[in-house]
Amino acid sequence: MTILLGCIADDYTGATDLANTLVRQGMRTVQYFGPPGDDVVVPEADAIVIALKSRTNPVDEAIEQSLDALNWLQGAGAAQFFFKYCSTFDSTPQGNIGPVTEALLDALDEDFTIACPAFPENGRTICYGYLFVGDKLLSESGMENHPLTPMTDASLVRVLDAQTRHPVGLVDHRTVALGPDQVRDAFAAMRSTGHLHAIVDALNDDDLLTIGTACADRKLITGGSGVALGLPENFRRAGKLSTDTVADQLPSMPGLSAVLSGSCSQATLAQVKAMQRSRPSYQLDPLKLAADEDQAGAALAWALPLLADGPALIYASAAPDDVRAAQDKLGGQAAGALVEAAMAKIAVGLVEAGVRRLVVAGGETSGAVVQALGVDGIRIGPQIDPGVPWTTTMGTTTIGRTELALALKSGNFGVEDFFLKALDCAP
């Protein structure tokens, strides 16, 4: 097998978002959670996304995991690589976007790459290096309250510069508007002045296509899923990718349905409220979890008798003040870990009871759920909302050969009635 594009994503929902973009552009794409073992039969694919759960890990661990993934992708024949992170540049003051990028560049013997998290279809644009979410600066968008990676500065040049050993430059939208040749020239100018990284502005999909074309010969590209929009066409122009592939077909997956939400992002809070209007819901509380109450068991006992009548929602999602109150008492990481462990246990219980269609909200939350279910990899299917496709599992899980349909949603993605909309179009 020889793949064209090898991708490494720093969280599970982000990986799926990238895979969704590639599939929509006609690349057959599969996603693995960590590099697949030698016993895994990898299907024929044009792109493989290795999803890591490295966004908030210690820097050294994130680098090690990313280099392992790179190594596997090189073994699968990839000649171009993509490091995918969140379209809101979720990171901590230490990293991990900067340090992982520099480690990948070193391993590839490369001296330049771009950083472009823009995703205009979902309202993320970059102008003069400042990241906007809709009409708000990143730092005023609600992301300043994120439980794990609060983003309090919208200047991506400044944020990345604080995480890197080498200087960060900017290719602004006036250059991007001139076209791929001028963008390529700007990259050359950046390299000649010792910049290892360039934030690249993008205001719309045309800008992303221009940037994608300009990156045809770059060994490493870093960014959100948006900047991958232009890459498949490069392979087509080079005669390496077919023009008529149907890449998003999934097997049908009948069974019970449920929604798990551990995301506290603004969009998710509205989606939780919307589902509560017509379906039953159960709230987990980190303080009760910390007091050793078996809330996971209680949530399962509550949900199982209801599911025959339709989907139920189990959530820990809470408004910023409640999240802060829990974090003040327990610590941010500890509160998150408690909720994630409970969600993981609930997911396993639900699947054991016959749930086959599971919607999970939250990147870290999805990571915990997928790990607990022992899912190796997923096939990517049709899009539900921008950045979120339906997927089905491949191979075995901790509960045997049972296949599942999973919709893994990043915090701020999806329309208000996303949960029921997703289940209405489940495979």
Task: Give yes or no for residue 387 binding ligand ADP (CB under 6 A).
Answer: no
Whole-number minimum distance, CB 218 to ligand ADP, in Å?
A: 28
Whole-number minimum distance, CB 262 to ligand ADP, in Å?
A: 4
Task: Give yes or no for residue 9 binding ligand ADP (CB under 6 A).
Answer: no
Task: Give yes or no for residue 363 binding ligand ADP (CB under 6 A).
Answer: yes
Half-sphere exposure for 72 (CA within 13 Å, toward CB)? 22
Task: Give yes or no for residue 232 binding ligand ADP (CB under 6 A).
Answer: no
Helix orientation angle between 363-373 and 332-352, rounded to the nearest 10 degrees: 50
Q: Which stretch binds ligand ADP (CB under 6 A): 34-42, 68-76, 263-271, 388-396?
A: 263-271
Q: Which stretch binds ligand ADP (CB under 6 A): 18-26, 69-77, 110-118, 361-369?
A: 361-369
Strand 29-33 versus strand 130-133 pairing type: unpaired
Whole-number minimum distance, CB 316 to ligand ADP, in Å?
A: 4
Q: Which stretch binds ligand ADP (CB under 6 A): 74-82, 214-222, 259-267, 377-385?
A: 259-267
Which among 87, 86, 75, 88 is positioned nearest to 48, based on CA atoms? Answer: 75
Note the residue count of the chain.
Answer: 427
- Total of residues contacting ligand ADP (CB under 6 A): 26
- d(CA 363, CA 237) in angstroms, rounded, equals 34
Closest residue to ligand ADP, judged by C-beta, is 411
Task: Give yes or no for residue 323 binding ligand ADP (CB under 6 A).
Answer: yes
Among 248, 364, 376, 403, contact with ligand ADP (rule: CB under 6 A): 364
Task: Give yes or no for residue 23 binding ligand ADP (CB under 6 A).
Answer: no
The DSSP code sequence of 338-361 is: HHHHHHHHHHHHHHHTTEEEEEEE
Task: Give yes or no for residue 407 binding ligand ADP (CB under 6 A).
Answer: no
Sequence-separated contacts (24+) of 301-307 with Cβ below 8 Å = 303/258, 303/346, 303/350, 304/349, 304/350, 304/353, 306/280, 307/256, 307/257, 307/258, 307/350, 307/353, 307/354, 307/355
Considering beta carbons, is residue 27 or 100 the nearer one to ligand ADP? 100
Task: Give yes or no for residue 210 binding ligand ADP (CB under 6 A).
Answer: no
The encoded tokens of residue 221 equal 């590209």
Among 335, 350, 355, 407, contact with ligand ADP (rule: CB under 6 A): 335
The encoded tokens of residue 395 equal 């191979």
Among 169, 230, 362, 389, contact with ligand ADP (rule: CB under 6 A): 362
Q: Is 223 helix (H, G, I), strand (E, B) or coil?
A: strand
Among 59, 127, 148, 415, contact with ligand ADP (rule: CB under 6 A): 148
Considering beta carbons, is residue 181 or 328 the nearer one to ligand ADP? 328
The structure tokens 């983003």 sit at 151
Task: Give yes or no for residue 263 binding ligand ADP (CB under 6 A).
Answer: yes
Considering beta carbons, is residue 21 or 410 the nearer one to ligand ADP? 410
- d(CA 70, CA 268) in angstroms, rounded, equals 32
Q: Which stretch binds ligand ADP (CB under 6 A): 61-69, 244-252, 357-365, 373-381?
A: 357-365
- Position 7: which residue type? C
For 45-84, letters b (16+ CB in 10 Å) and e give: bbbbbbbbbbbbbebeebbebbbebbebbeebebebbbbb
Task: Give yes or no for residue 147 binding ligand ADP (CB under 6 A).
Answer: yes
Whole-number minimum distance, CB 215 to ligand ADP, in Å?
A: 27
Among 52, 73, 220, 326, contact with ligand ADP (rule: CB under 6 A): 326
Task: Give yes or no for residue 247 binding ligand ADP (CB under 6 A).
Answer: no
Task: Give yes or no for residue 318 binding ligand ADP (CB under 6 A).
Answer: yes
Task: Give yes or no for residue 339 binding ligand ADP (CB under 6 A).
Answer: yes
Residues 6+ apart with CB under 8 A from 19: 7, 29, 30, 31, 47, 49, 380, 389, 391
Is the dihedral angle over the CA atoms 390, 249, 375, 99 positive or is it negative? negative
Among 264, 369, 388, 405, contact with ligand ADP (rule: CB under 6 A): 264
Considering beta carbons, is residue 129 or 147 the nearer one to ligand ADP? 147
The structure tokens 């590209």 sit at 221
Q: Is 249 helix (H, G, I), strand (E, B) or coil?
A: coil
Task: Give yes or no for residue 224 binding ligand ADP (CB under 6 A).
Answer: no
* Residues in touch with ligand ADP (CB under 6 A): 146-148, 262-265, 268, 286, 316-318, 322-323, 326-327, 335-336, 339-340, 362-365, 410-411
